[in-house]
Amino acid sequence: MTPDPITEQNRRSWNAVVPAHTSHRADEAAFLRHGGSTLFPEEMALLGEIRGCRLLHLLCNTGTDSLSLAAQGAIVTGVDLSDAAIAHAQALSAASGIPATFVQADVYAYLAAAAADGLRFERIYAGYGVICWLRDLTAFAAGIARVLAPGGRFALMEFHPASNMFSADWRLAYDYPHGGAPLELPGVGDYVGAAEGGLSPSGFLPGVRDFTNPEPCTLYRWGVGEVVTALAQAGLRLRELREYCYVNGERPFERMVPATDRRWHAPPDVPAIPLMYGLAVEKDSDDE
């Protein structure tokens, strides 16, 4: 199969930024080895009990969330497009002593191959900047439905598309995302450095400064209704849909106010709007 050229370019953009992102995180292996976790309560509530579950983490990036899930007793497989991210995840698994399987693959290719091989997972998770990399929501949802075990659950934690209507200085500036409209950007940015610790629970390091990505990328703009509809049309039953007027970890706007547990809120002069959403869908226990 001929690789999708946009996907290949996105892979190069992610490969370029991974060293910048990891440069801001102090000894992740020791942090994880001694019981540290990069997870937030919101995604854990949506996932439910994971101990002993086969758990597939899609678009897992450098694997810290995957290993945090594995440390809680899940049998984890992490999948990501970026070679550099997967290499880091594999090294981190070895250094931390937390076992997990990491696979470099386009998410669509992985889901198709997993379904063909008869793989099934009781839990599937994706979170924080996932939907914008999906060129085909229908195929993504159908792929999840095929590899989700009967009675299993898919949980998504995501930045709210309503927040994408605002500029960095909180001005209403853009249309609501919909239809998978492509958005070309100069490249994946160093949002880990910009978060100044929000995405570095192991400890923040100055690391790479003034990073400029030499590889451009393309995102896809989808609305919440389109995500929910794609999952429902794949035969998955909605269990929860929640919206949050704060952001976990990342700091996408100016003048954001830090709160406890690496959360960021809008400044007092900005009305509260949903900045994240989370959902959980389930496959009926008699479905196969």
* Average pLDDT of the segment spanning 194-220: 96
C-alpha distances (whole Å) from 260 to each of 202, 265, 266 are 16, 10, 14
Cα–Cα distance, 161 to 224 (Å, whole number) = 7
pLDDT digits (tens, 9 = 90+) for 21-44: 999 999 999 999 999 999 999 999
CA 36 to chain centre: 19
**Domains of the chain: residue spans and CATH:** 5-282 (3.40.50.150)
Q: What's the chain look like in SS3?
A: CCCCHHHHHHHHHHHHHHHHHHCCECCHHHHHHCCCCCCCHHHHHHHCCCCCCEEEEECCCCCHHHHHHHHCCCEEEEEECCHHHHHHHHHHHHHHCCCCEEEECCHHHHHHHHHHCCCCEEEEEEECCCHHHCCCHHHHHHHHHHHEEEEEEEEEEEECHHHHHECCCCCECCCCCCCCEEEEECCCCCHHHHHCCCCCCCCECCCCCCCCCCCCEEEEECCHHHHHHHHHHCCCEEEEEEEECCEECCCCCCCCEECHHHEEECCCCCCCCCCEEEEEEECCCCCC
* Average pLDDT of the segment spanning 187-192: 98
* Average pLDDT of the segment spanning 62-66: 98
pLDDT digits (tens, 9 = 90+) for 71-130: 999 999 999 999 999 999 999 999 999 999 999 999 999 999 999 999 999 999 999 999
pTM of the model: 0.97
Cα–Cα distance, 109 to 113 (Å, whole number) = 6
Cα–Cα distance, 192 to 285 (Å, whole number) = 39
Mean of all residue pLDDT scores within the chain: 97
* Average pLDDT of the segment spanning 128-151: 98
Q: What pLDDT is attached to residue 288?
A: 67
66 pLDDT more than 80: yes
Q: What pLDDT is attached to residue 100?
A: 98
189 pLDDT more than 90: yes
Please report, as a single letter, which amino acid is at residue 269.
D
Cα–Cα distance, 77 to 75 (Å, whole number) = 7
